[in-house]
């Protein structure tokens, strides 16, 4: 098999995931796109490992071992990521990453729309509670 | 390499290549639908198609163990986790118009530029490279297991520690505060109003008109109560 087939498919899948990460709004859809990017990398690793295991005299099968490690780390990452998204949703009432602008500069909260204001209220009240709890 | 090169025709694809191309088209199309559909649950289900297609590609590359691990972990558990996440964040069933953010066109430009550059570089670099798929499978379970437990034992064990840390971290992150229901929200809101240490005056109005503001800020007030009691529990 020509090596360009899996390499090109992997590049296209990676760029699809890149588009999803940049263009999506829901945090869980962003996590899905991250999974697509990780899978593109896995396909590259497997294809090059199969190629090199024939081309080289001695091989460690490092590509397949690294693929297994990547799959396990991706599973851990999706667990932690979903826990973070659920915590944010519980505290803010939204999983929309465009509305989590606490650390943004030059953003006026009064000009934002209603949903953003709701999230802002939750954030502000949370800060109020923190200030009063530490007092 | 030249002998092997002579045996392959550039424009006469073998059966494996045709199968790889067809499954690759299905996989790529499913990935495109995953990142562009407006229905959130459908995105997760198309992700199943994309990941399953990748498992078939692994099988075509004779990496059978990776293929079954892919089916088990990705299709079996990651997608189920994502669906649970969609359910728990109360994702709307049906089309949601705000699935894509405003910088969609900039993202499209970046992705197309990256795709063009990557495909050009990869095709140019590996123009004369063929994978030899004949003979015993390079990625059979025997070969993978032998190399994994001969050469990769220490990273394998370290990976189990990482998985344990991720498990504990996910439990800690998703655990609810214990006294959330026991501390009444009236106290916290009253003390919020009378607290002298609030730095911003706007916080007062927001904290006080919560129950009066009606439907618009109902959700915000509810999560604000939760946040209040959580913070108090943390301070204790």
What mean pLDDT do residues B59-70 have? 92
CB nearest to A126's CB, from B147, B219, B227 = B227
- Show Cβ contacts of residue B174 under 8 Å, excluding neighbours closer than 6 positions: A83, A86, A87
φ, ψ for residue A94 (rounded to 5)? -150, 150
Residues B122, A71: C-beta atoms closer than 8 Å:
no
φ, ψ for residue B139 (rounded to 5)? -115, 35
CATH number at residue A80: 1.10.287.3510
Question: Mean pLDDT: which of A106-115, B7-16, B214-223 is highest?
Answer: B7-16
Give the pair of three-digit tokens for residue B153. Answer: 């034992």
Q: Are residues A48 and A93 in the same domain?
A: yes
Predicted local confidence at residue B7, as pLDDT: 57
Q: Are residues A82 and A16 in the same domain?
A: yes
Q: Are residues A30 and A62 in the same domain?
A: yes
Q: Are residues A96 and A112 in the same domain?
A: no
Q: Which of A83, A134, A115 is nearest to B97 (CA)?
A: A115
The boundaries of the domain holding residue A72 are 4-100
B13-30, pLDDT tens digit by residue?
788 899 999 999 999 999
B125-138, pLDDT tens digit by residue?
998 888 888 877 77
Q: Are residues A95 and A37 in the same domain?
A: yes
Assign B49 a pLDDT band (cuts: 50, 70, 90): very high
Per the structure, the count of domains in chain A is 2
Predicted local confidence at residue A135, as pLDDT: 41
Residues B86, A96: C-beta atoms closer than 8 Å:
no
Q: Is B158 on the interface with A (CB under 8 A)?
A: no
CB nearest to B223's CB, from A36, A93, A135 = A93
Q: Are residues A37 and A91 in the same domain?
A: yes
Q: Are residues A91 and A107 in the same domain?
A: no
A51 with A120: CB under 8 angstroms? no
For residue A26, the chain B residue with the least C-alpha distance is B99
Predicted local confidence at residue B212, as pLDDT: 40
Whether A35 shows a pLDDT value over 90: the answer reads yes
CA separation for the pair A78, B83 (Å, rounded): 12
CA separation for the pair B204, A121 (Å, rounded): 11
CA separation for the pair B51, B76 (Å, rounded): 10
Taking contacts as CB-CB distances below 8 angstroms, the residues of chain A near B66 are 42, 46, 64, 67-68, 71
Interface test with A, best of B56, B80, B117, B118 (most A CBs within 10 A): B118
Whether B146 shows a pLDDT value over 50: the answer reads yes
CA separation for the pair B72, B70 (Å, rounded): 5
Predicted local confidence at residue B68, as pLDDT: 93
Q: Are residues A108 and A93 in the same domain?
A: no
Predicted structure pTM score: 0.73
Predicted local confidence at residue A12, as pLDDT: 96
Q: Are residues A76 and A13 in the same domain?
A: yes
pLDDT averaged over chain B? 76
Taking contacts as CB-CB distances below 8 angstroms, the residues of chain B near A1 are 14, 16-17, 20, 60-61, 130-131, 133
What mean pLDDT do residues B161-186 have? 75
């Amino acid at each position: 098999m020509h090596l360009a087939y899996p390499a090109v498919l992997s590049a296209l899948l990676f760029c699809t995931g890149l588009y999803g990460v940049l263009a999506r709004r829901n945090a869980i859809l962003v996590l899905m796109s991250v999974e697509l990017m990780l899978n593109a990398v896995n396909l590259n690793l497997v294809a090059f490992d199969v190629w090199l295991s024939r081309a080289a005299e001695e091989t460690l099968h490092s590509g397949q071992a690294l693929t297994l490690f990547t799959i396990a780390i991706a599973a851990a990452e999706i667990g932690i990521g979903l826990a973070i998204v659920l915590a944010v949703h519980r505290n803010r009432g939204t999983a929309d990453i465009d509305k989590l602008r606490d650390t943004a500069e030059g953003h006026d909260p009064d000009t934002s729309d209603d949903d953003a204001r709701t999230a802002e209220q939750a954030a502000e009240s949370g800060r109020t509670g923190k200030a009063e709890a530490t007092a | 390499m030249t002998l092997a090169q002579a045996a392959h025709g550039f424009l006469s694809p073998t059966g494996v290549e045709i199968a790889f191309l067809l499954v690759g088209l299905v996989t790529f199309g499913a990935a495109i639908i995953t990142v562009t559909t407006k229905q959130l649950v459908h995105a997760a289900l198309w992700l199943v198609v994309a990941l399953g297609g990748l498992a078939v590609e692994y099988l075509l590359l004779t990496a059978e163990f990776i293929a079954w691990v892919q089916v088990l972990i990705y299709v079996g558990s990651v997608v189920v986790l994502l669906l649970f996440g969609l359910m728990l964040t109360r994702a709307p069933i049906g089309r949601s118009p705000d699935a894509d953010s405003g910088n969609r066109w900039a993202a499209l430009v970046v992705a197309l530029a990256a795709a063009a550059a990557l495909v050009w570089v990869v095709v140019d670099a590996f123009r004369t490279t063929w994978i030899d798929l004949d003979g015993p499978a390079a990625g059979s379970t025997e070969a993978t297991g032998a190399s994994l437990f001969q050469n990769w034992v220490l990273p394998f064990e370290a990976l189990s520690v990482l998985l344990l840390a991720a498990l504990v971290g996910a439990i800690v992150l998703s655990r609810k505060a214990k006294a959330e229901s026991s501390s009444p929200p009236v106290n916290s809101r009253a003390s919020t109003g009378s607290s002298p240490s609030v730095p911003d005056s706007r916080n007062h109005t927001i904290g006080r008109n919560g129950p009066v503001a009606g439907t618009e800020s109902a959700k915000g007030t509810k999560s604000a109560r939760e946040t209040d009691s959580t913070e108090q529990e943390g301070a204790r």
